[in-house]
Structure 1
């Protein structure tokens, strides 16, 4: 079998999650969506913004990133 430079593509099948949020969080998300639309001139549904918000949060959490890297090294053993 030939060796390719491009690694095997990861699973990109979306996983649907259903969550319930408190009214104050829903209001904050609604406000975020409105400010996003004002900023970028494009409305996006809250359900479309939430994955991006979560990804940005996880990517910015240095403690989580370090711990996750350690976990990945542990799994690779």
Structure 2
């Protein structure tokens, strides 16, 4: 079985933001939440919006171009 890229999600103090996304992306996100819960032996899926921040964090953490530019700017 293929593992999802997103591992367990830490419970952190959230900051509210408002975003717009296409409906098909939200449907896929909800499906991802369901599969994530199943893979992590959770009884029910967390709200799909809780996945957005960890997904963005993982994306930015694995973006080599972002890391390179960030290092070159001294951040």
Q: TM-score, normalised by structure 1?
A: 0.69
**RMSD over aligned Cα atoms:** 2.0
Structure 2 unmatched ranges of 5 or more: 1-12
The number of residue pairs the alignment matches comes to: 62
Q: 1:44 aligns with which of 24, 46, 66?
A: 46
When Rg is computed on C-alpha atoms for both structures, the one with the higher figure is: 1
Match of 1:64 among 54, 63, 66: 66
Q: Find runs of 4+ consecutive structure 1 residues off by over 2 angstroms.
A: 13-16
* Higher RCO (CA < 8 A, seq sep 6+): 2
Q: CA deviation at 1:14?
A: 4.8
Looking at structure 1, the residues matched to 46 and 14 of structure 2 have their Cα atoms a distance apart, in angstroms, of: 18
- Partners of 1:46 and 1:31 lie apart in 2 by 8
Give ranges in structure 1 of 5+ residues lacking alignment. Answer: 1-12
TM-score w.r.t. length of structure 2: 0.70
Range 40-49 or range 55-64, more displaced: 40-49
